[in-house]
Structure 1
Amino acid sequence: MESKDYLKDISEIKDLMNKSSRFISLSGLSGILAGIYALIGAAIAYWLVTNHSNGILTLDGWVFQSCLLTLITVAIVSILTAIFLTTRKAKKHNAKIWDATSQRLIINFLIPLIVGGLYILIILSQGKYGQSGGLMLIFYGLALVNASKYSIGDIRYLGYIQIILGLLASWKPGYGFWFWVMGFGIMHIVYGTWMYLKFDKKSN
């Protein structure tokens, strides 16, 4: 009996240590919605390019600027949705939304993302469009893997998938758009659904 109690105490201590070192309030629903936003944005961009540019983009063209604005809008709405749903989940479980762990999570997530974003802007300014979709996936995947040690460790698998899709998009730049749709759209929905069923639904 004492042995079982001892093992239970050890398990509880390990659980508390894990919670104190990882930010576990991420919402699976935010991943699903981010994927839906990405698919909507991709549909708008595809329609613009197909119907108004004959498949040719230039930096000073309004179609490219419209696609870029759509991409930025998708990113902003996704971030705001993630903040709202994650904050709501944290409050529901009486967890802190802003502490040393969440700060480390954000810093480790943003470093690869900012570096990747700047590099993509550089190559776009040089008129190199073909690799941009693949690079977005690769740097986003690296950001997820880098941040996973401060959050739910399972997000690193989504990061690995994004990196693989990014490499495939770089290998086959003619299909970069569709790999982008697969990574940011479909995989977010699939992974968000899995996270929701594994973590969120059980806690409701």
Structure 2
Amino acid sequence: MKIKILSWNVRGANDSDKRKIIKSVIKSNKVDVVCLQETKIKDMSTGIVRSLGVGRHIDWRAINSRGAVGGVLVFWDNRVVESLEVEEGMFSVSCQFKNCMDGMRWVFTGVYGPVCRRDREGGPFTWRGGLNNQSQSRLDGFLVTDEWDRMFNGAMQGILARPVSDHCPILLEGGSLKRGPSPFRFENMWLEEKGFMDQMKRWWCSLTFTGSL
């Protein structure tokens, strides 16, 4: 079974235009489970969730913000996973899911706060801030168990471009992924990294080619 999980500190989801952008990221990546942190929404509603999610087959749970601080929203496609139990903590939403395809059970927890890293593809940083984006850090990530990794064979985590917020959305893909050569991928955000073009020139010059066009 394949699954796609997106986690994103959106730094506020009250603005309807911003929600359209968030929704476009979710839709374009065909995500099954979504966790949005720092929604800054005091009273989450089905209407707001539907303005973020894609399609009618959406279930959700949320922790409302405390004033203009915090807030966690988790929603999922109920044709892909079924929620068996949900627990809301002070800073987290935990869901026990059952895969609709194979019946396997697993737990997902969305947390607004520091998390452990997992090696990821894409850009080297998930957060940028300060004057001219001079401050950068890897604040966001997924932590998975060995059992989950075996259940969703070949899990990979990637960092997506950030159309809104100063945090990058991160995407965890697992299940039935073929092992083999990785396709070439390029993120425009890499061009913003100091020294990237010089490093690219060194890589290119180090390659040797034979044959003719």
| TM-score, normalised relative to structure 2 | 0.28
Structure in which a larger fraction of residues adopt helix: 1
Structure in which a larger fraction of residues adopt strand: 2
Larger radius of gyration: 1
